A and B are shown apart, each in its own frame.
Chain A
Amino acid sequence: MANFVLRSAEPKDVSDILRLIKELAKFEEMEEKVMLTEKDLLEDGFGDHPFYHCLVAEVPKDQTTEGFSVIGFAMYYFTYDPWIGKLLYLEDFYVMQEFRGFGIGSQILKVLSKIAVKTRCSSMHFIVAENNKQSIEYYKRRGAADLSLEEGWRLFEIQKKDLVKMTAK
């Protein structure tokens, strides 16, 4: 049974956060799409105005693989629904393979739920790849609703190159 602690990320954690982001991206075969640097993570997460928040899961040094004690993370931020107000948005959520099955994920969700309730958020949102059946079931078991299915919302994005095009018009 893994001994672990969950805590808010600190500036010193940015290199572990980046490592885990890349690991999760690699799992989705998208590792080369990670353009973010430790410097970005530091400025954006620990400056005057944090653009994201992170929870990290840490295990004692003697349980670590390759010397990493940070073995999981959840990245979240707050969004705003004009009808109901504040929402907690869970952006990324990952626990290293060898540390799964010990309830770390469930504990992370529990802490996030507490944060959401404490900040008076009306709900927690997150997206899941539609072919990731395992994750979909994991979340549905905990009461999550598939808004894309129920409400027919589609998420759109305009990338920088097209933003630039629009400013040049």
Chain B
Amino acid sequence: KMEYKLRKAEPKDVSDILRLVKELAKYEEMESQVTLTEKDLLEDGFGETPFYHCIIAETPGENSSDEPDVVGFAMYYFTYDPWVGKQLYLEEFYVMDKCRGSENVFEPHVVQLAMKTRCTGMMFVVAENNQPSVQFYKRRGAEDLSQEEGWRLFRFDKDSLVKMATPAEE
């Protein structure tokens, strides 16, 4: 059985975080879409205002004298619901293939974090064709807000933002 140690990510972890992000993207056949760099992760996660937080999962190295191996991560940040306040938003979590079946190793830790920071809820997105995950979460009391409340997620991409930010002729 896999023994994991969970800890808060540090600046030195950015290369492992990026590696795992790319690995997960590759698993979804989207590796080329990862444009984030180690520099971005460093500035954005460990600057004055962190834009994300990470929990790292480690397993002991091959030999007792080796550095531990970083085998998984969970990325989260805080959002704000105007009706009930702070929410913990679990953006992504992943454990390497060889350690599969243990993705929910982060769950208790993240839930504790949400309680500790006095969040009134935890949110996350699931692909609608990922039925195993949809069922996994529903069994634990998660509500599909898209279904129940009919919310649709929209995006303005960079081009649209630039267009909107620059003066237009009416």
Contacts and interface: CB of A to CB of B under 8 A. Distances in A.
Nearest to B25: A83
Contacts of A109: 164
B16 to A, nearest CB: 13
Contacts of B80: 44, 51-52, 75, 77, 91
Contacts of A148: 146, 151-154
B131 to A, nearest CB: 11
Interface in B40-71: 40, 44, 49, 51-52
Contacts of B77: 78-80
A51 to B, nearest CB: 5
A167 B115 CA distance: 9
Contacts of B155: 123-125, 144-145, 147
Contacts of A166: 107-108, 111, 140-141
A156 interface: yes
B2 interface: no
Interface string B65-83: 0000000000101111111
Interface residue range, chain B: 35 or more
A126 B80 CA distance: 12
Interface in B129-153: 129, 134, 137, 140-147, 149-153
Nearest to B152: A148
The residue in B75, B144, B160 that gathers the most chain A C-beta atoms within 10 A of its C-beta is B160
A134 interface: no
A159 B141 contact: yes
Nearest to A76: B80
Given A128-B151, A158-B122, A163-B114, A153 B83 contact: no
B82 A21 contact: yes
Given A91-B82, A162-B141, A167-B112, A143 B159 contact: yes
Interface residues of A, number: 72
Given A109-B164, A139-B154, A160-B120, A152 B127 contact: yes
Contact of A167 (B81, B111, B126, B154): B111
A100 interface: no
A156 B142 contact: yes
Contact of B21 (A44, A83, A129): A83
A76 B163 CA distance: 20
15 contacts: A36-B83, A36-B85, A51-B85, A83-B34, A123-B160, A127-B152, A128-B151, A129-B152, A143-B159, A143-B160, A147-B155, A148-B152, A153-B128, A155-B144, A163-B115
Interface of B: 21, 24-25, 30, 33-36, 40, 44, 49, 51-52, 75, 77-87, 89, 91-92, 107-108, 111-112, 114-115, 119-129, 134, 137, 140-147, 149-165
Given A86-B44, A113-B156, 4 more contacts: A44-B86, A117-B158, A156-B125, A159-B120
